[in-house]
Structure 1
Amino acid sequence: MPSHLRNLALCSSLVLLGLAPLIAAHGDEEPEMDMSMPMSSVATHISTATVSAGMDTVVAEPSSYFRYPEHGNLMVAHIILMTIGWVFVLPICVMLSISRSRLSLPTQFVFLALNGGGLLCSIIYNASTPNLYPNNFHHKLGWFLVCVVTAQALLGVISAYAGRRGEKEEENSGYIPVSREAMAEHTRMHERPKPIPRLSDDSGQGTEPGTESLRSQSMSLSGDDENTLNESENDEFEKVGLMDGTQVDQYLSKRLPGLFSARLLGIIRFACDFVDRVILLLGFAILTSGFVTYGGLFKGAEIYSGLAHFIKGSVFFWYGILTLGRWAGCFAEIGWSWNIKPDNERRFTPTAEFVESFLIFFYGSTNVFLEHLAAWGSAWSAQDLEHISITIMFIGGGLCGMLIESSKIRNLLNTTLHQSSSQMSPYHLEAQEPKSYRVSMNPIPALVVMLLGMMMSSHHQHSMVSTMIHGQWGTLLVGAAFARAATYIVFYLSPPTSILPGRPPTEIITAFCLMAGGLIFMASSKDTVKAIEMNDLDAMFVFTVSMGLITFLMAWIILVIAIKGWATRREKRWGKSIGYGVDGTA
């Protein structure tokens, strides 16, 4: 063999030998390592593998963007801009849009500016760095959401300005032509001083025209008229909108009114309302997928474990947000805020517990086919059977909860008693329904959550850190179930009597435990735990960071819901906003 080929083969062998730790770290099996070896050195071996061959050093490419050392400022700017836009500005946009506020469009443009800045940073970063996560979901979903939010803003502009045809003619038709002589006579009659009634002890001095008394009175009246005029002008400015008088407003006012039919305009508004209801869920998906892409998680076969933990954890996280929204007063018009349903709401609406039970049943029915997906084609293990049993518990618990919430089932259960008391008048006190029937008290959803938390707290894991993290979110779910049980006890002893939200304090604890448990659930996947261990972190780090983040998010959610109430009152004061009716329904 020639010498240059022999040297090339020797160098290649050394390179492959140096890359062996990196290849082993990305294999299907768990990497074996000496327990006495520091975690920082393990992370160093896995993140970058170096081989010294003479004076040359071969450096392996980092396995994630988190480990990539160059152009980090662009990624930091991207993360900051997207976090401000999707976590802080977008929820305000949604609340203003739901409340039909004219401030919705300007806020949407602020969000588009932040999102565009973050998008520009990511484009420059991707062009300057290698593709460390090929075919990732974050990029595809990101471009899709860019199209969605841009289209929503354009549809919002169309909906705000469309339908104004004939508005000017109607405004002018309200004025009746009046001659100049009639206007002069009207002015003369109203400017003539009226006799001022005099008290018995008033001598009448100082009341002649031109005296100081009349001059002060005239000045006072003119000042009041001026204030009234200014207030009316301000109100008129507020009613017109924020872009009144600008070239953009004039152009849109001339081009868009009457351009769309009433049916098409209704479809546009329905599309905007639909996007308002789902955009926050999509925003949560884009943020979490960005975290996965940045950390280089869930590659290869680990995608199944990652999806399972992230989807299930997200369900509990948003379940907690829904619980906090119910406490804050959302859905009070249909009796979901621990209140009695208003009498003017006659349409049938399911109870919140029925919806919870249905979601539990639906989750179990769909997830029963996915538990063996990661090991498809291989033999079923005891852990697979454990997961199948959990899904069956979800199916049975959800079905039981829906039956409990059914009024027809309740009437059938009372059939025997109705037959024995058929002679009793329905207006008799003993024949009327108990006051506890006014609010749903279904413990099945809380029971299912509690059992799941207990199971996961004692579930066998591959490492001590993973076991502790599973125990954390399992304990939080148990706490949520006990807090919901305390709510039912309070309302069973004292049922609600008002249409206003009951706001039981125990529901705040329920919401906190569900949100925190869901977030830690997402962090308990095998790949995430492996990254935590290799960065020399522990389970307490995950717990403390999650607690701080959830308490801050709860405060922000309550503030955003309060902004919705403020915007609704503002539009009711100012009247009907442009192109919309004032509707504060969620």
Structure 2
Amino acid sequence: MDMDSHTHGDMTNTQPVNVSELVPVPHEVHHMHGVPILETELTPAERLFWEAYNTTSYFTIDTPHKTNLYIHLALIYLAYVVMYPLALAVKDTKMFFPALVVQSGVVLVSIANYSIFITTAPDLYPNNAYTKMTSGLAIMVLIHVASAFVYTAKKWLEGPSNTNHMPLPGKDIPLSPMDGYASPSNTLYDPEDHMQRLSDDSFDLESTPGTPHAMEFASAEPQRYNRLLSKIFSYRIVAELVSVFGVVCTFNYHFLNWGMLCYFLIYAPTGVAVLSCIGMNEHVFNLLAHFIKGGVFFSMGIVSLARYCGGWPKMGWAWNKSYISPMEKPTSFLYKIQPKKGMVTMEMLESSLILFYGCTNIFMEHLASPGGEWTAKDLQHVSIAFLYLGAGLCGVIAENKMADWRLEKFNTEFGADFEVDGYRPAHVTPGFSPNPFPAFTIFWTGLLMSQHQQASELSTQVHVQWGSLLTYGSLVRLATFALMMFYPQKSFNPTKPFTELITSFCLLCGGLVFMESTDPVITALEYRGMTPMFTLNVSVGVVALVMAWIMVVFSVRDRYRY
């Protein structure tokens, strides 16, 4: 029907309607409003839908232990948003283990509070994933702490690992505890002063090379903490634990250090959905699609900002030139699998993930109606999967084609006879690859979805918001490539192109708004009368705080580099 709101109101108030024949629908016309939707002019079918809308959630029900829910949320976010990133910033120092113990204690207290709450609350979301993930989190925390204890004991009992120390002609330079990468000396253009990297474990990609082992606690004047560890590790049972479980715990330690952070990035939005009771029944597929896809872009924003702050420089992912020496190659599985003519670039990693996503997403778009006919909406979404499939494959092929270009780029700046301690590097990278396909994919995703008409005006505008943000971010990433190509820096230090700050913001904010654009969230916002600017304003503010905190964490990491 095409009529203005006055006609709509007249129809609602004057014409007799047989309610029993109505099918409740959320929208028959677009409603732009800033008040609860029940206070606006609605058609009979719309009013029937909205009056039946259920706002009950775990936050609104009356329960004797509601306080325990808020304690759980406060502690779990304190543990994984504040405490754990700071612990990772000092991961290869003697402060990490006590920090991990304290953080794990906070997590377990949080989980205990959730258990008290959920066992006394009505089962509003039967068989929900959040409760199961909370139980899994408790188990993983205990395994993580136990593995960290055995790993720390193993390093203590082994003593100073100076056997792996290979001094270079220059002085040793302290390292980044998060990246396992030594900054070059002050003479940025002298490759002889550039530090080599040696891992003491084949899978320990972040131990500190070129210096005495970072976990070495020996000192001229033992501190109280050292004496405590010495007393604990002197027990015979500790040595037996190291002997039996040393290898397994070492693997668990390195895997869970970052695995716990990744787990929380999935755990947090799951909690939002379950505790708010959104995305139930048939709506779960729409919610999952938006949360997963939006979460991917949000995670890309975190990675992009981490690269700007100096993350993963040994692999050249901090927009810096790097190399792997023949002595380093056997020390790490990651080093062994590097391609012959260079190193795995971030562009190759992004293209591979895009290709994988395109392959899997072709069949996921039909999950909401299995066995039914494919609708135009299904086909529209599948066509985007084709975009990811094709662009991802193009990106992978382009990376292989540009292998010679990257090698020549490095040799042009450092010379084909570049050597380290008399050895030619086994692998080199100029720090980037001008591969447009990852940015191309994000650009078209944003552009197509910003034109994606929805059932309500609010949903349409929110899609325009995150679609535009992704489009802007992809264009700025192309500007980064231009800067790196036309203004190259002959340095092994992490490069910090200012354009990446804007790219990170666009990806973070676009991903967050993407997650908010799911139908259950939009319906909840409409019921309460929220306008499109609500999602954008809140998301911009939250993302600014997230970016600031990530940069603070990397500043703490840099503090322990020297």
TM-score range, shorter-chain basis? 0.7 to 0.9
Tell me which protein shows more helix as a share of its residues.
1
1:279 aligns with 2:279: no
Q: What code does the residue aligned with 1:287 have?
A: A
What secondary structure is seen at the aligned counterpart in 1 of 2:90? helix
- Residues in 2 aligned to 1:406 and 1:241: alpha-carbon distance in whole angstroms: 54
Q: Could you report, residue by residue, the CA deviation over 1:260-318 in whole angstroms, capped at 9, with x for unpaired residues?
A: 46584132111110111221110111111111111101100111101100000111011
**Residue matched to 2:480:** 487
Does the 8 Å contact 2:322/2:429 carry over to 1? no
**Residue matched to 1:557:** 550
- Residues in 1 aligned to 2:270 and 2:233: alpha-carbon distance in whole angstroms: 38
- Residues in 1 aligned to 2:89 and 2:285: alpha-carbon distance in whole angstroms: 35
Q: What code does the residue aligned with 1:130 have?
A: P
Does the 8 Å contact 2:294/2:514 carry over to 1? yes
Aligned mate of 2:151, from 145, 159, 181: 159
TM-score by length of 2: 0.72
1:300 aligns with 2:281: yes
Does the 8 Å contact 1:319/1:514 carry over to 2? yes
**Worse-matched range after superposition: 491-500 or 460-469:** 491-500
1:374 aligns with 2:368: yes
Q: Displacement of 1:251 after TM fit?
A: 4.2
Q: Displacement of 1:568 after TM fit?
A: 4.8
Aligned mate of 2:36, from 23, 34, 39: 39
Q: What code does the residue aligned with 2:70 have?
A: V
Does the 8 Å contact 1:358/1:398 carry over to 2? yes
Q: Displacement of 1:74 after TM fit?
A: 2.7
- Residues in 1 aligned to 2:244 and 2:398: alpha-carbon distance in whole angstroms: 41
**Residue matched to 2:460:** 467
- Residues in 2 aligned to 1:33 and 1:389: alpha-carbon distance in whole angstroms: 28
- Residues in 1 aligned to 2:324 and 2:119: alpha-carbon distance in whole angstroms: 60
**Residue matched to 1:516:** 509
Cα separation, partners in 2 of 1:68 and 1:389, compared to 1, 3 Å: same
Cα separation, partners in 2 of 1:265 and 1:472, compared to 1, 3 Å: same
Aligned mate of 2:119, from 109, 124, 127: 127
Cα separation, partners in 2 of 1:255 and 1:62, compared to 1, 3 Å: farther
Q: Displacement of 1:65 after TM fit?
A: 1.1
- Residues in 2 aligned to 1:113 and 1:264: alpha-carbon distance in whole angstroms: 23
1:254 aligns with 2:246: no
Q: Displacement of 1:162 after TM fit?
A: 3.7
- Residues in 2 aligned to 1:63 and 1:48: alpha-carbon distance in whole angstroms: 13
Structure 1 residues 450-461: aligned runs within 5 Å: 450-461=443-454
Q: Displacement of 1:63 after TM fit?
A: 2.8
**Residue matched to 1:188:** none
Q: Displacement of 1:40 after TM fit?
A: 6.2
**Worse-matched range after superposition: 333-342 or 435-444:** 435-444
- Residues in 1 aligned to 2:313 and 2:351: alpha-carbon distance in whole angstroms: 20
In structure 1, runs of 5+ residues without a counterpart are: 1-20, 50-59, 169-232, 415-425, 428-434, 570-586
Q: Could you report, residue by residue, the CA deviation over 1:531-567 in whole angstroms, capped at 9, with x for unpaired residues?
A: 1111221221111111111111111112212323334
**Residue matched to 2:104:** 112
What secondary structure is seen at the aligned counterpart in 2 of 1:504? coil
Q: What code does the residue aligned with 1:89 have?
A: M
Aligned mate of 2:469, from 476, 482, 485: 476
1:311 aligns with 2:292: yes
1:74 aligns with 2:68: yes
- Residues in 2 aligned to 1:244 and 1:46: alpha-carbon distance in whole angstroms: 68
Cα separation, partners in 2 of 1:241 and 1:549, compared to 1, 3 Å: farther
Cα separation, partners in 2 of 1:436 and 1:116, compared to 1, 3 Å: closer
1:244 aligns with 2:227: yes
**Alpha-carbon RMSD:** 3.5
Cα separation, partners in 2 of 1:250 and 1:66, compared to 1, 3 Å: same
- Residues in 1 aligned to 2:303 and 2:34: alpha-carbon distance in whole angstroms: 45
Q: Displacement of 1:490 after TM fit?
A: 1.2
Does the 8 Å contact 1:439/1:495 carry over to 2? no
**Residue matched to 2:95:** 103
Cα separation, partners in 2 of 1:48 and 1:93, compared to 1, 3 Å: farther
Aligned mate of 1:506, from 488, 499, 506: 499
- Residues in 2 aligned to 1:450 and 1:94: alpha-carbon distance in whole angstroms: 33
**Residue matched to 2:6:** none
Q: Could you report, residue by residue, the CA deviation over 1:464-493 in whole angstroms, capped at 9, with x for unpaired residues?
A: 110111111001001101110111111121
Cα separation, partners in 2 of 1:315 and 1:264, compared to 1, 3 Å: same
**Residue matched to 2:320:** 339
Does the 8 Å contact 1:312/1:522 carry over to 2? yes
**Residue matched to 2:203:** none
Q: Displacement of 1:392 after TM fit?
A: 0.8
- Residues in 2 aligned to 1:46 and 1:111: alpha-carbon distance in whole angstroms: 46
Does the 8 Å contact 2:454/2:460 carry over to 1? yes
Aligned mate of 2:380, from 376, 383, 386: 386
**Residue matched to 2:138:** 146
- Residues in 1 aligned to 2:155 and 2:238: alpha-carbon distance in whole angstroms: 5
**Residue matched to 2:176:** none
Does the 8 Å contact 1:340/1:499 carry over to 2? yes
**Worse-matched range after superposition: 381-390 or 457-466:** 381-390
- Residues in 2 aligned to 1:262 and 1:406: alpha-carbon distance in whole angstroms: 44
Q: What code does the residue aligned with 2:113 have?
A: C
Q: Could you report, residue by residue, the CA deviation over 1:100-136 in whole angstroms, capped at 9, with x for unpaired residues?
A: 2111111112212221232232222223321111111
What secondary structure is seen at the aligned counterpart in 1 of 2:93? coil
1:532 aligns with 2:513: no
Q: Displacement of 1:41 after TM fit?
A: 4.6
- Residues in 1 aligned to 2:263 and 2:347: alpha-carbon distance in whole angstroms: 25
**Residue matched to 1:448:** 441
**Worse-matched range after superposition: 70-79 or 459-468:** 70-79
**Residue matched to 2:272:** 291
- Residues in 1 aligned to 2:523 and 2:455: alpha-carbon distance in whole angstroms: 10
Does the 8 Å contact 1:354/1:402 carry over to 2? yes
Higher relative contact order, chain-length normalized (CA < 8 Å, sep 6+): 1
- Residues in 2 aligned to 1:122 and 1:294: alpha-carbon distance in whole angstroms: 11
TM-score by length of 1: 0.69
Cα separation, partners in 2 of 1:42 and 1:154, compared to 1, 3 Å: farther
- Residues in 2 aligned to 1:42 and 1:145: alpha-carbon distance in whole angstroms: 43
Does the 8 Å contact 1:338/1:496 carry over to 2? no
**Worse-matched range after superposition: 250-259 or 474-483:** 250-259
- Residue correspondences, number: 448
What secondary structure is seen at the aligned counterpart in 2 of 1:296? coil
Q: Could you report, residue by residue, the CA deviation over 1:213-255 in whole angstroms, capped at 9, with x for unpaired residues?
A: xxxxxxxxxxxxxxxxxxxx995445x562624xx86244213
1:359 aligns with 2:353: yes
- Residues in 1 aligned to 2:245 and 2:497: alpha-carbon distance in whole angstroms: 44
Q: Could you report, residue by residue, the CA deviation over 1:54-101 in whole angstroms, capped at 9, with x for unpaired residues?
A: xxxxxx99631132244443322222111111111112223333xx21
Q: Displacement of 1:384 after TM fit?
A: 1.3
Q: What code does the residue aligned with 1:269 have?
A: T
- Residues in 2 aligned to 1:149 and 1:47: alpha-carbon distance in whole angstroms: 43
- Residues in 1 aligned to 2:244 and 2:322: alpha-carbon distance in whole angstroms: 32
